[in-house]
């Protein structure tokens, strides 16, 4: 379960408006989550541009332990905090984005 998701900067996010991020500037993605699973495996994370297929943003470290506690505590509140460097090379357009966090099961 994910809740209390925040993106900074996003001054109109509390009004349901999309976040307008500036290319060349970082953005923080934060949320609280309660996993109903436990793992001793490494966590992986990825930020995706959602289109007809999910396309991962290039150059993003997939080590989930850098953005949340490892291992996450089952049935307890955990925190995810990621800084997305919005590259100047990204075309200026609207991107629907999703975050994925999973354990690295072989």
Question: In terms of Cα–Cα distance, which of 37, 33, 23, 16 is closest to 80?
Answer: 33
Report the CATH number at residue 81.
2.60.40.770
Enclosing domain of residue 14? 2-103
Share of the chain above pLDDT 70, in %: 98
Note the pLDDT tens digit of each residue in 70-102.
Answer: 999 899 999 999 999 888 888 888 888 899 998
pLDDT computed for residue 105 by the predictor? 65
pLDDT computed for residue 9 by the predictor? 95
What DSSP string runs through 11-24? TTGGGTPPP-PPTT
| φ, ψ dihedrals at 71, nearest 5° | -75, 155
Name the domain count of the chain.
1
Q: Going by C-beta distance under 8 Å and a sequence separation of 6 or more, which residues neighbour residue 84?
A: 21, 26, 27, 28, 29, 47, 57, 60
């Amino acid at each position: 379960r994910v809740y209390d998701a925040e993106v900074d900067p996003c001054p109109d996010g509390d009004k349901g408006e999309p976040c307008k991020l500036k290319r060349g500037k970082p953005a923080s993605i934060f949320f609280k989550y309660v996993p109903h699973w436990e793992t001793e495996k490494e966590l992986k994370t990825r930020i995706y541009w959602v289109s007809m297929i999910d396309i991962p943003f290039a150059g993003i470290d997939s080590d989930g332990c850098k953005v949340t506690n490892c291992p996450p505590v089952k049935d307890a509140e955990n925190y995810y905090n990621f800084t997305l460097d919005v590259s100047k090379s990204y075309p200026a357009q609207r991107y629907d984005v999703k975050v994925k966090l999973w354990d690295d099961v072989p």
